[in-house]
Structure 1
């Protein structure tokens, strides 16, 4: 493949771009906080001075940004993507945003002659580090085929879902389910503890039953210990719950469980837990039950 540009080196972007480098891809990176590029440079990456600079240099550029505002800023601001995008260049936005934001970016890119693909991912820090993400792509099919070798390095499976917006919607549905499950899991852990049951035994029972899943197995032990090292920051989970509820409004879908879960994540943010892992919503249940 041609050299790949990569915009955004947060928890996910750093791991994803590192995987590209490890598998022999040439990568030019950019991040608002320049120091986050240093480790990538040590592994062979070059640094672009701006998003426009990266676009100019690379045939294909991937973005992995924190929210819709950041995704729009990188495209539309001064020295942004639009200043250099054009015919023969592809832009792949792997950020989790709403369908409207994705469509807005798509229209701007294609109006300049470029091609666009949205490709949000299911998975957090460890799957990103291990190249085990699930990639939910939609948009220009030819661009999807062109960048699939990169997707195959970053993920264990990629889906092409058709028109722009479908990837964003699928990701929001997945994260809405995940956030709702995390709240129920947190309530179960606290209920077990307050009922005099051993929480580790609960984890063992869950892992052997019909609702066994990787999230409970991965997050449960650290939640019991009150440790929430951020793999997927809680503030981003709450952002995704909010966007999913808006999608529910658009489609007249009642979502009382998701709405209640969103309130729990909002409470956690108000308690200053936003930068911790999204499993820190567990602390809101513990505080409600009078636990320390």
Structure 2
């Protein structure tokens, strides 16, 4: 028997991350239907046995657990409390799980709507990329009712290799934004170090190897090392997405009085690339920011 045989699931948002995650659920034996603002995205998964629904409300009528992976606050609110949203039909005994990166404030509005319907709500934003999603190697930050987390643990284990329980309400949202701040700043810091080494005559690939094997090595750098060496900016997560996450974190930080000068600087670097039409490139393109400021090395 496969891990999720007999589980009846609904999925909202079959995009860059949603597609590999849906494949994992199908491979684990779940009965799965999905909806998306662009129905064309559903077609590749139809051959794997995934059904289609017109609205999120239609999914919630049939599925025991509904999951969503959408791009921003507006999209989450639309598929939950908007017309045809989950809140129209979800009922006691069902669970709504959102895996998106959104603000605590928007998530709290969803929590109110789910509570009014008597359904459980799990906030489960994920950390990882399209490749880690396909491999089931995401880290999931989870908050919500403990009983619902226990019930959904086998499902979350199919999507990620680690689930960190963060609290009972919006704590997981805050943790995800905190992690994304470090993610967004990483290529900016690495870029400065690489530019420093280049001015001293060091080889680009050798510098990347040195960073990757030193005390500053990290899973993120390991994942991006070959991209850096090749200067191949084919996106796993693009600059536009990271800019959106920085905007979200800066907005929350501003409301809470948190000083964030480094995040603001990283956002301006991202804005420069967006202005030159490079927002669709991988966000590690930010590692080349000094090249736009520095004259060629006179040596």
**Does residue 127 in structure 1 map to residue 132 in structure 2?**
yes
- Paired with 2:291 and 2:16, the residues of 1 have a C-alpha distance of 27
Asked if structure 1 preserves the Cα contact closer than 8 Å seen for 2:187 and 2:285, the reply is no
2:12 corresponding residue in structure 1: 7
RMSD of aligned alpha carbons:
1.7
Q: What are the Cα deviations for residues 224-280 of structure 1, in whole angstroms up to 9, with x where unaligned?
A: 433212211221211111222233334433222222112111222222222222112
1:209 corresponding residue in structure 2: 214
Q: CA deviation at 1:152?
A: 0.3
Q: CA deviation at 1:283?
A: 4.4
Q: CA deviation at 1:20?
A: 0.9
1:29 corresponding residue in structure 2: 34
Q: What are the Cα deviations for residues 26-60 of structure 1, in whole angstroms up to 9, with x where unaligned?
A: 21111111111112111111111111111111010
Q: CA deviation at 1:138?
A: 0.8
- Paired with 1:290 and 1:17, the residues of 2 have a C-alpha distance of 47
Q: What are the Cα deviations for residues 40-84 of structure 1, in whole angstroms up to 9, with x where unaligned?
A: 111111111111111111010000001111111111222111221
Q: CA deviation at 1:290?
A: 5.1
2:184 corresponding residue in structure 1: 179
Q: The residue matched to 2:141 in structure 1 has which SS?
A: strand
Q: CA deviation at 1:194?
A: 4.2
Asked if structure 1 preserves the Cα contact closer than 8 Å seen for 2:212 and 2:225, the reply is no
- The aligned length equals 291
Q: The residue matched to 1:11 in structure 2 has which SS?
A: coil
- Paired with 1:110 and 1:81, the residues of 2 have a C-alpha distance of 12
Q: Return the TM-score normalized by structure 2.
A: 0.92
Asked if structure 2 preserves the Cα contact closer than 8 Å seen for 1:268 and 1:283, the reply is no
Counting only pairs closer than 5 Å after superposition, residues 113-192 of structure 1 correspond to structure 2 as 113-192=118-197
Q: CA deviation at 1:2?
A: 2.6
Asked if structure 2 preserves the Cα contact closer than 8 Å seen for 1:23 and 1:153, the reply is yes
Q: The residue matched to 1:111 in structure 2 has which SS?
A: helix
Which has the higher mean CA deviation after the structures are superposed, 106-115 or 55-64? Answer: 106-115
2:92 corresponding residue in structure 1: 87
**Does residue 279 in structure 1 map to residue 273 in structure 2?**
no
Q: Where does structure 1 lack aligned partners over 5 or more consecutive residues?
A: none
1:245 corresponding residue in structure 2: 250
Q: Where does structure 2 lack aligned partners over 5 or more consecutive residues?
A: 1-5
- Paired with 1:40 and 1:289, the residues of 2 have a C-alpha distance of 47
Among candidates 89, 96, 108, match of residue 101 of structure 2: 96
2:55 corresponding residue in structure 1: 50
